[in-house]
Structure 1
Amino acid sequence: MSKTYTFDEAYQNALEYFCGDELAAKVWAGKYALKDSQGNIYEASPEDMHHRIASEVARIEQKYPNPMSEEELFALFDHFKYIVPQGSPMTGIGNNHQVASLSNCFVIGLDGPADSYGAVFMIDEEQVQLMKRRGGVGHDLSHIRPCGSPVNNSALTSTGIVPFMERYSNSTREVAQDGRRGALMLTINIKHPDSEAFIDAKMVEGKVTGANVSVKITDEFMHAAVSGSMYEQQYPVDSALPSFRKEVNAKDLWKKIIHNAWKSAEPGVLFWDTILKESLPDCYDDLGFRTVATNPCGEIPLCPYDSCRLLAINLYSYVKNPFTPEAEFDFDLFKDHVMKAQRIMDDIIDLESEKIETIIKKIEEDPESDEIKLREYNLWKKIQRKTMLGRRTGVGITAEGDMLAAMGLRYGTDEATDFAVEVQKTLCLSAYRSSVNLAKERGAFEIFDYKREVENPFMHRIMQADPELYEDMKKHGRRNIACLTIAPTGSTSLMTQTTSGIEPVFMPVYKRRRKVNPNDKNVTVDFVDEVGDSFEEYIVFHHKFVTWMEAKGYDPAKKYTQEEIDELVSKSPYHKATSNDIDWLAKVRMQGKIQKWVDHSISVTINLPNNVTEDLVADLYVEAWRSGCKGCTVYRDGSRAGVLIGTKPKEKKESEKEELQKSPVETKQDPKPLSRPKELEADVVRFQNNKEKWVAFVGLKDGKPYEIFTGIADDDEGIMVPKSVSKGLIIKSYDEDGKKHYDFQFRNKRGFKTTIEGLDSKFNPEYWNYAKLISGVLRYGMPIDQVINLVQGMSLNDESINTWKNGVERALRKYLPNGQKASGQTCQNCGCESLVYQEGCLICTNCGASRCG
């Protein structure tokens, strides 16, 4: 039996491997160490993992001429230095303990109109079957008939797109994948009559929370939006004889897309004509390779039942003498490794085929009836066929931001963009050279025909850049139908200890927390969690920022003041090069230029400060379209949850980038939505409620109640809050998963700030649902006495919730002015409507009766 390790053992070994990097060690031990379905860990460190992957890839290599050795492969993987398999390949290669796919992403769907319930439920089941094998899934909804269309069943008319969005979203949230939920991308063609409903679906809180959504934008629509013309929608969207037509104002619909993206970061946009025109697989669309949707992050447009496996090349590792005047990029080593990376990706396709065989065998052996198993069985047969037919790969990059900084280039400048494009062009030509060489040794993908690709713009660029490569491709073919992508490397970049994907550094300096003993000397307690553990905040430098510091003679171990940190950053190549600092327009143009040398797509996010206008978002989207980007996503600070803590408050930009050309598409910003301040002054209100000790935290804005958290106190201290504390702050914050929560902060007797995290999770979860309702009406300015009446009138068939209701009422009464009449209430003693509030109690001015409970 194989030796197993505890999480702590694996974590400690990984901690040493990553030179003390706690986050990298936890990510590896928690997500990527070899484990079985019961969570038993079979690898002691990342070194074991890299040996496992190298061994399996070497086994496949032995099937073909000129095989790479296990030792050579291990050297490429070791310490995540050069070649990094992503996600599913990293966890699944050589893992015989779990039956899972090696593919990171899939697209499913049906050719032609398929809007019956049978088709809808078929897609739903296939989506779940893929997600349970660890894959992310994308599918298009343009095949569903629009709302109000006649149907041949008892419903008479179609419900349209949105109910099915919710169905697919809910299915995604139900599927667990080793501690994470599945990932889903839903798309719709802008030509579909229900596209506006699709665009608005996620604007309702709690709706479609299990899916990313993107709109497939056509050139025709963009021209109409820019010129202010009318635009005809139809169903079916691709039909020459549609059954339904509808004219819309393109500019108004475009404004809605922009407004929603500004407000909530969705929908994303996919410039669909650019995707199809540039796609090599679509040269074979009549053979089953018609692109219909993308994976959940948008970097892999796919045809139905195709999949892709991802791998990243760590660009930083090819910079010799980083952060010095002698810095240079080792293009020779880079070309060699790219060719090997493409070879490894092709080997992983064979490994995936083996995995699919294992999945199919398991399905056959399952004790369920053949009728139940048939759809899953057919699904994987279709995926295996499409996988082997095109042999699609996804060679990408990571550490773009660190590579540019190490070369002394500032991300976003013309010089940096030109260099990044040269690197990507080199990668593209080397990967395609490798695919041609593989075709010589192993054979071309089954349906290769260079004549089909002659008019493809991407192939034209390869032809012009390397005529010899093109001639060899015509002669020998190509092993892979498409080869390249740029994906978000996410948690993988924590292990490469670099910036992620194509992105710039998020922050070169930020804060984290460590647990401390509050009784130790010279300890500052910044946070106290729900079990009473104390934490101290500390400064963390981005790994390659530390390398820059060392290259310039600065001591990373020194304790720096905020002013010293600011000065260090200003001297570094990361200055004005963070995701929030860079020139947004320049980033869009950089994406468009790099896209010319990526046959699939690029996952990239434009990070914007909170105060940008909708006009700016419109300008960026229009520029992305004009620059040749295949897709675009914006994230405005605060429109979704963030995860890192800045070392100082953000400064607003003095202007909104004057160099941005005014877009022909005008957008009118809606009235500013009600926004909860990050910090609110708060009172702590303690009281007896049915002989139980209760505590309420009441957030105040302009001295008036704005929100409330209340419930049974844990002990005499009132949920770790000393009795002497009556005031503090309620702070809106986010956990590491981006989930919003509310913390209470106060100063202890020693004068240190102490924080109790997660007020929204301290009490009965049902209390929180009702608290959101009450807080909502408070925020919109309902008079306190009317709020109290609302609470009193709530009919709740639950004794504990009714007790909570009484607690809220008692806490809010404190804020009523003395003598204010209690409208709509009568005295229980004399029956008169003469009740007034006095010190939080109800006093009858007629008979003198009082009620404080």
Structure 2
Amino acid sequence: MTDNARQVLVRRYVRRGDDGKPVETVEEMFWRVAYNIARVEKSYGQDVNALAEKYYDILTSRKFFPNSPTFTGAGTPLGQLAACFVLPITDDMGKASTGIFQTLRDAALIQQTGGGNGFSFARLRPAGSLVNTSAGQATGPIGFLRVYDHAFGEVAQGGSRRGANMAVLRVDHPDVEEFVTCKTNEHSITNFNISVGITDAFMQAVEEDTDWDLRFPDVTSPKYKGFSGTLEEAEAAGIPIRVYKTVRARDLFNKIVTQAHHNGEPGVLFLDAANRTNPVPHLYKLEATNPCGEQWLGPYENCCLGSVNLSEHFGPDHTVDWESLRQSVVLSTRFLDDVVDANLYVPAVPQLREAALRARRIGLGVMGLADLMYHTGIRYGSIEGQEFAAQVIEFVRYNAMLTSIDLAKERGSFPAIAGSIYDPDNVTWQPPQPLFAYTHDWGRPAIDWTSVSEGIKAHGIRNAAQTTIAPTGTIATVAGCEGYGCEPVFALAYIRHVNDNGKDLQLTYTSPLFEKALTEFGLDDDERKALIEQVMADGSCQHVDAVPEELRDYFVVSQDITAEEHVRMQAAMQAFVDNSLSKTINFNAGATVDDVSTAYRLAWKLGCKGITVYVTGSREQVVLETLATAEKKKGGNGATPAAEYGISQHPAEAEETHQLMMWSEVRKPRPRALPGYTFSTETPLGKAFITINENGGSQPFEIFINSAKAGSETAAVSEALGRLISFILRLSSTVEPKERLKEVVKQLAGIGGGRSLGFGPNRIRSMPDGLAHVLEEYLAQREERLANSGIPHTHAEVHEISIPMVADQPLLKIGDLCPECGEAAVINEEGCRKCYACGYSEC
């Protein structure tokens, strides 16, 4: 393992004593997991130690890793090994076991074990509806979503990982419009991802430009009393359905797409696509997923996930070691089936264990797909790349199913198999098919889906679901993958800062596979170093002419791949994943709402079960801005090419808004125009632009600090500093503003952070220290300016001054601040957020 990978492993997975120190070595940690999972095989008459050794070998060779809860929970008193759960919420305040607050209690207990929860709020009556028992008005799903969000923010979450949540609301629910915009203020709901449950009927209405009814069972009907089902079940039961509002389908679609373009949420889940492959339709309809959207689950179900590391299955001469991959899939499938038995779940919520054993879902996926494509010389996103990815995932699914059939032969099928699509007496399961005919031969062994069908008829199958491609944030870091999950590589080279006993070490990270390829092309050390320095600029080699063209063809990173290619890659793999996959469709900063709209429609047409998008820098946009201001920023009339769908570049709800009064009225009023000075300086968190505006007498009056994307933690801290200093400057006081600013400099100067930038007198220790340097420079220049002219400025003007640094140090500026290491290296990927500097993950 690399030093970074080993550090992450020790920090996340090794058990610790009451003093916080490790009580096991890394090797002992792997054996603890291997042995405690293998131990359940005793009940099936197997040799526990022999199987434990096999599990230990596949783990320590990094050919397969289970999800993080299995590493942290196996063989511990907690013993909770699953990452994701879905809990039901019915329209009841407490009598029913699935009622609003009973489910909140169950979810809190799961959160304490580090598990994440998914919920569909679609069964809750709309806000303002009549509540017969109290003659009051219903809170509605968004109101209770906020209740849940606040509660989870207070729950002390156990283990070494933070639990996350997913809220889903159907596109025909009367409150869906409010739901779509409920996270416009990114600080209002912080413990949930949100997704709209989309139906085929809605997408068809969008295509045909027809109206769409927002409806819910009539809660005043005597038949509704005690009802807890879905909208379709209400219709089947003869309960009247009330239409609350009729909207234009394209207008609602526009609202969803515009909000996703703004900040990546809501995501979209395609309900009908998921239910077409629901393995147990006789038990339930699928309504919700886990927090990252890749795992569809029924009420109280959970799934034990794991990933085969494709970067450890390279064959010679840029080929795939298919036989090694087959063996890893076989053993990994058995491992995950054993996890279902070994898991202690949450004893206080017995429905969890019952649901898990009933269907015995497992989720075997992959990580390092991009690594394998670098090795084989195939461009991620190309037609060839789509076929390659499909062939790899088909191979995994095929061998996982054969293994599950063998396990059923040994120890029996999942208990709920009668009536499922795998019912041996009436098999309705159909072998998966690629989106387009294969034309390439990468030496993959032949696949015979007929043998799978015959095996199911003869023996059944052990697991109702077998495959899921989940986020692999921490485990991919430990495994040493360059590409997380099924995502492309994020960057070929960048700077990573490491804290070594209080010393800041700058380590240059370069893709080992890229370096190897450069070496194979005959480049010497100096040539490679020069190329890598150029690649370091933005992480891509596409604009570095000195990189051999053949390498540029397939050494692509996420930013080099079009959104359409991202979607088509997802769809190609989805064809062979019986659950779903966690992937983010990344758009460049210039992407329009129309681009996002096109991606959504393409994902639906290609059979994806959901889609998550993220527009680079999208949080720099302010949804509640005036149209006039937006047009000024755009430099045009704000129109987009999406006229066919009635989609505008800016939110339909945008209207004239005003800044709230932040301070008491004893502060000095702001004139209409002020002269100002803008300074630019490097800080440990990247370049900052600091504007100081002056009032009468050339006194400093207000300060604005722009240091990162709006919505990021860095930007929040910067804005807070600017507001507080401005507050101090504008208070009515007998102390001159310039003297107040000098005191601010004294308070901020010298504050240390996680690392420093520069040397000697120009050393910047932190963002506050960098601000102090700028303010000190401004005060000095102000004195010199006034001494030379003696005439205060009388018109609004801005001067840009660049403060030189002693050393030009490249910084890792690829994302948001990491709450663990402080690096600006947290990016949106795999449907979640992860840090490329230290391996921290919010998956």
More deviation in 179-188 or 622-631? Answer: 179-188
Indicate yes or no: 2:225 matched with 1:244: no
Unaligned runs of 5+ in 1: 1-17, 361-376, 518-532, 642-659, 687-693, 724-734, 737-742, 763-815, 822-853
Indicate yes or no: 2:301 matched with 1:306: yes
Give the Cα–Cα distance (whole angstroms) in 1 for the partners of residues 756 and 165 of structure 2.
35
Work out whether residues 748 and 771 of structure 2, in 8 Å CA contact, stay in contact via their aligned partners in 1: no
Q: 1:640 to 1:174 in 2, by over 3 A?
A: farther
Indicate yes or no: 2:469 matched with 1:500: no
Instruction: Give 1:581's aligned residue.
Output: 560
Instruction: Give 1:139's aligned residue.
Output: 119
| Counterparts of residues 251-650 of structure 1 (less than 5 Å) | 251-282=250-281, 284-285=282-283, 289-321=284-316, 326-352=317-343, 355-356=344-345, 360=347, 377=348, 379=349, 381-449=350-418, 452-453=421-422, 456=428, 458-459=430-431, 465-498=448-481, 499-514=483-498, 535=504, 537-552=506-521, 559-560=529-530, 562-563=533-534, 566=541, 567=544, 572=551, 577-639=556-618
Q: 1:51 to 1:515 in 2, by over 3 A?
A: closer
Indicate yes or no: 2:3 matched with 1:26: no
Give the Cα–Cα distance (whole angstroms) in 2 for the partners of residues 121 and 157 of structure 1.
18
Give the Cα–Cα distance (whole angstroms) in 2 for the partners of residues 476 and 515 of structure 1.
55
What is the CA-CA distance between 1:291 and the residue it aligns to?
2.0
Give the Cα–Cα distance (whole angstroms) in 2 for the partners of residues 152 and 482 of structure 1.
42
Give the Cα–Cα distance (whole angstroms) in 2 for the partners of residues 62 and 700 of structure 1.
61
Indicate yes or no: 2:44 matched with 1:73: no
Work out whether residues 301 and 356 of structure 2, in 8 Å CA contact, stay in contact via their aligned partners in 1: yes
Give the Cα–Cα distance (whole angstroms) in 1 for the partners of residues 744 and 646 of structure 2.
59
Work out whether residues 549 and 556 of structure 1, in 8 Å CA contact, stay in contact via their aligned partners in 2: no
Give the Cα–Cα distance (whole angstroms) in 2 for the partners of residues 606 and 396 of structure 1.
19
Give the Cα–Cα distance (whole angstroms) in 2 for the partners of residues 90 and 101 of structure 1.
10
Give 2:167's match in structure 1, choosing from 168, 180, 186: 186
Structure 1 counterpart SS, 2:487: coil
Give 2:84's match in structure 1, choosing from 98, 101, 105: 105
Work out whether residues 592 and 649 of structure 2, in 8 Å CA contact, stay in contact via their aligned partners in 1: yes
What is the CA-CA distance between 1:514 and the residue it aligns to?
4.7
Instruction: Give 1:798's aligned residue.
Output: none
| Counterparts of residues 670-681 of structure 1 (less than 5 Å) | 670=650, 681=689
More deviation in 175-184 or 591-600? Answer: 175-184
Give the Cα–Cα distance (whole angstroms) in 2 for the partners of residues 404 and 615 of structure 1.
31
Q: 1:327 to 1:820 in 2, by over 3 A?
A: closer
Q: Once the two structures are superposed, what CA deviation does each residue of 1:303-324 show, in whole Å capped at 9, x if it has no partner? A: 0111111110001211113xxx
Give 1:757's match in structure 2, choosing from 763, 767, 786: 767
Q: Once the two structures are superposed, what CA deviation does each residue of 1:635-690 show, in whole Å capped at 9, x if it has no partner? A: 1112359xxxxxxxxxxxxxxxxxx998953421117999999855436899xxxx
Q: 1:66 to 1:414 in 2, by over 3 A?
A: farther
Give the Cα–Cα distance (whole angstroms) in 2 for the partners of residues 663 and 405 of structure 1.
40
Q: 1:130 to 1:451 in 2, by over 3 A?
A: closer
Q: Once the two structures are superposed, what CA deviation does each residue of 1:277-329 show, in whole Å capped at 9, x if it has no partner? A: 112132x32xxx432210000111000111111110001211113xxxx2111
More deviation in 289-298 or 436-445? Answer: 289-298
Indicate yes or no: 2:196 matched with 1:215: yes
Aligned CA RMSD, in angstroms, stands at: 4.0
Work out whether residues 493 and 500 of structure 1, in 8 Å CA contact, stay in contact via their aligned partners in 2: yes
Normalized against structure 1, the TM-score is what? 0.69
Amino acid at match of 2:249: A
Q: Once the two structures are superposed, what CA deviation does each residue of 1:357-380 show, in whole Å capped at 9, x if it has no partner? A: xx53xxxxxxxxxxxxxxxx3x2x
Structure 2 counterpart SS, 1:632: strand
Give the Cα–Cα distance (whole angstroms) in 1 for the partners of residues 433 and 463 of structure 2.
18
Work out whether residues 315 and 398 of structure 1, in 8 Å CA contact, stay in contact via their aligned partners in 2: yes
Give the Cα–Cα distance (whole angstroms) in 1 for the partners of residues 558 and 374 of structure 2.
14
What is the CA-CA distance between 1:272 and the residue it aligns to?
0.5
Percent identity of equivalent pairs: 28
Structure 2 counterpart SS, 1:281: coil
Unaligned runs of 5+ in 2: 218-230, 435-445, 621-639, 660-677, 681-685, 695-699, 708-718, 729-739, 773-789, 796-843
Amino acid at match of 2:149: S
More deviation in 125-134 or 258-267? Answer: 125-134
Structure 1 counterpart SS, 2:247: strand
Q: 1:709 to 1:574 in 2, by over 3 A?
A: farther
Work out whether residues 700 and 707 of structure 1, in 8 Å CA contact, stay in contact via their aligned partners in 2: no
Amino acid at match of 1:124: L
Q: 1:559 to 1:230 in 2, by over 3 A?
A: same
Give the Cα–Cα distance (whole angstroms) in 2 for the partners of residues 612 and 117 of structure 1.
49
Q: 1:393 to 1:251 in 2, by over 3 A?
A: same
Work out whether residues 257 and 597 of structure 2, in 8 Å CA contact, stay in contact via their aligned partners in 1: yes
Give the Cα–Cα distance (whole angstroms) in 2 for the partners of residues 476 and 755 of structure 1.
66
What is the CA-CA distance between 1:754 and the residue it aligns to?
3.3
Work out whether residues 697 and 709 of structure 1, in 8 Å CA contact, stay in contact via their aligned partners in 2: no
Work out whether residues 458 and 597 of structure 1, in 8 Å CA contact, stay in contact via their aligned partners in 2: no
Q: 1:313 to 1:144 in 2, by over 3 A?
A: same
What is the CA-CA distance between 1:695 and the residue it aligns to?
13
Structure 1 counterpart SS, 2:181: helix
Give the Cα–Cα distance (whole angstroms) in 2 for the partners of residues 338 and 516 of structure 1.
38
| Counterparts of residues 677-716 of structure 1 (less than 5 Å) | 681-682=689-690, 698-699=704-705, 707-708=722-723, 710=725
Give the Cα–Cα distance (whole angstroms) in 2 for the partners of residues 696 and 575 of structure 1.
50
Give 2:33's match in structure 1, choosing from 11, 33, 53: 53
Work out whether residues 505 and 574 of structure 1, in 8 Å CA contact, stay in contact via their aligned partners in 2: no
Give the Cα–Cα distance (whole angstroms) in 2 for the partners of residues 318 and 441 of structure 1.
28
Instruction: Give 1:35's aligned residue.
Output: 16
Indicate yes or no: 2:136 matched with 1:149: no
Give the Cα–Cα distance (whole angstroms) in 2 for the partners of residues 93 and 221 of structure 1.
44
Amino acid at match of 1:202: K
Instruction: Give 1:718's aligned residue.
Output: 746
Structure 2 counterpart SS, 1:106: strand
What is the CA-CA distance between 1:748 and the residue it aligns to?
6.7
Give 1:225's match in structure 2, choosing from 199, 206, 210: 206
What is the CA-CA distance between 1:817 and the residue it aligns to?
9.5
Q: 1:819 to 1:573 in 2, by over 3 A?
A: closer
What is the CA-CA distance between 1:540 and the residue it aligns to?
1.4
Q: 1:44 to 1:546 in 2, by over 3 A?
A: farther
Amino acid at match of 1:104: A
Give the Cα–Cα distance (whole angstroms) in 2 for the partners of residues 100 and 695 of structure 1.
58
Q: 1:494 to 1:187 in 2, by over 3 A?
A: same
Give the Cα–Cα distance (whole angstroms) in 1 for the partners of residues 322 and 498 of structure 2.
41
Amino acid at match of 1:267: P
Q: 1:92 to 1:109 in 2, by over 3 A?
A: same
